[in-house]
Structures are given as structure tokens and as C-alpha cells.
Amino acid sequence: MTHPPVGPEVDATPRPLPARIPHRGAAVALEPLALRHAEDLWQAAQSDPEGDSWAYMGYGPFADAAAMRRHVAAFASTHDPMAWAVRPLRSGRVQGWLTLMDIQPGNAAIEIGHIWFAPAMQRSRAATEAMFLLMRHAMDDLGYRRLVWKCNALNAPSRAAAARLGFVYEGTLRAHLVVKGRRRDTAYLSILADEWPARRDAIAGWLDDANWDHAGAPRRSLSAATATLASDRPMGA
């Protein structure tokens, strides 16, 4: 007698919900988003007068400090997404936020998203470490099996950032959403639990002080650090 194929058995224990707690690295501190961060965030947003950093977000740019304050107040009150303010230690001022979201304890799946960094912070050591701190928290501390990254399929910088971190492209949902009155096709990427240790070690090695020269530049790129993982990615990813 034959049976239809089914997936492998997994540990079906529900994973813990993330807690609203701070995280700290060598270059950045993550603080649970709060209204007190609104002024720094408004000032950080002024470094992008054209609003390009908001192009693929579902909100922003904000017309004035009061609008930013209202957004932060509402954003800080939600548990999914759960938001952290990002404070690079070198400047001491909050320059962005990011979240854990679409939290599915029963499926052991969680997403890192709503990532907004002021232009000065983009592609920096602090930015990478901020993402890494939440990735490591989700996968190592909480034991999630699937870590998701999704973005507008036209958002080339986001897709490049995901690739640098070792996310695997899964596919694109066409006409998935309407965002700011425009059609959005959504690209999905992920890291699974058995893939995570190699990604974690590659990113941690890139972030290590030994990889940084006296001018604060990396001796090798993060893309180079994750290049050996490329074989895990589907063709064309």
C-alpha cells in the first residue's frame, strides 16, 4: 500500500514570543522603540530631503516632527510588529528602526522587517550588526526554524542586503499588495535553522574587530564572507 508523500517530522513545540528587551553589540544598541526616540528619528530623517529611503516603506516620509511623533507612538505600542530603535554607539543618536514581525510561534517562523535606516547608517557596520542582533535572537535565543525577509520586488538595495546576509530567494508573489496606491510584487527570502549556523558564523566573522582597519573600513566584504554559501541559493537568486 502506498501513501502520499508528506514533509519530515519537526519539533512542533511552539517557540517563545520575542520580548521587548534591549540588545547590544560592539557598534550598535537596540532599544525597544518608545516615544522618547521620536526627536532623534525626526532629525535622522532630515538627512534624506528627497525621501528616497521611504520609497518602499508603507509609511513616510513624514511632513513634520509631530507626524513622526504620532507614528512612533503608534508603532511602539504594537507587539507584532515589535519594533526596536537603532542607536549606533559612535554617534550616540538613534538613526533608524527595525522589527520582528509576522511572528508564528506554532510554525516556528518569524520575519525581520520594517527596516528603516537613515542614509548615513545604510550599509554600515552598525546597520549590519543591528539586523544580526535580531536574527541571532530569533534563531539562537528563541529557536525559530524559519527566518523570513520580504520586500518589494523592485527594491534592489533590500534584495542585495538580504543576499549579503545569506538569505535564500524563494520566489515572488505577483500583485501581492497595494502600497501607497501602487501595485507591489513581493519577493520572499528565508534562512532555515539548518542554514543558520554557517550564516551566523560568516556575519559574526565580518563584524569581528579583527576585520576592521584603523579607518573603520572592513578588510573584506560581507559578500565575500557569505560567498561560500551561494551554492545554497536557487539559480538566479
Instruction: Identify the DSSP state of 20.
Output: S
72 is a domain residue: yes
CA distance 225 to 51: 32
158 is a domain residue: yes
5 is a domain residue: no
Q: What is the mean pLDDT of residues 156-170?
A: 96
Q: How confident is the model at residue 1 (pLDDT cuts 50, 70, 90)?
A: low
Instruction: Identify the DSSP state of 216.
Output: S
pLDDT over 80 at 233, yes or no: no
The per-residue pLDDT for 237 is 38
Percent of the chain with pLDDT over 70: 95
Q: How confident is the model at residue 123 (pLDDT cuts 50, 70, 90)?
A: confident
Q: What is the mean pLDDT of residues 221-228?
A: 79
The per-residue pLDDT for 235 is 37
Question: Which range (121-135, 193-207, 219-233) has the least confidence?
Answer: 219-233
Q: What is the mean pLDDT of residues 99-105?
A: 98
120 is a domain residue: yes
10 is a domain residue: no
pLDDT tens digits along 51-85 = 999 999 999 999 999 999 999 999 999 999 999 99
The per-residue pLDDT for 164 is 95
The per-residue pLDDT for 232 is 47
110 is a domain residue: yes
The dihedral built from the CA positions of residue 119, 121, 127 and 128, taken in this order, carries a sign that is positive
Please, are residues 137 and 144 in contact by the beta-carbon 8 Å criterion? no
CATH code of residue 79: 3.40.630.30
Please, are residues 149 and 162 in contact by the beta-carbon 8 Å criterion? yes
**By three-state DSSP, how is residue 221 classified?**
coil
184 is a domain residue: yes
Number of domains in the chain: 1
Say what angle helices 125-136 and 196-207 make with each other, to 10 degrees.
150
pTM (global) more than 0.75: yes
The per-residue pLDDT for 28 is 98
Domain that holds residue 151: 23-232
143 is a domain residue: yes
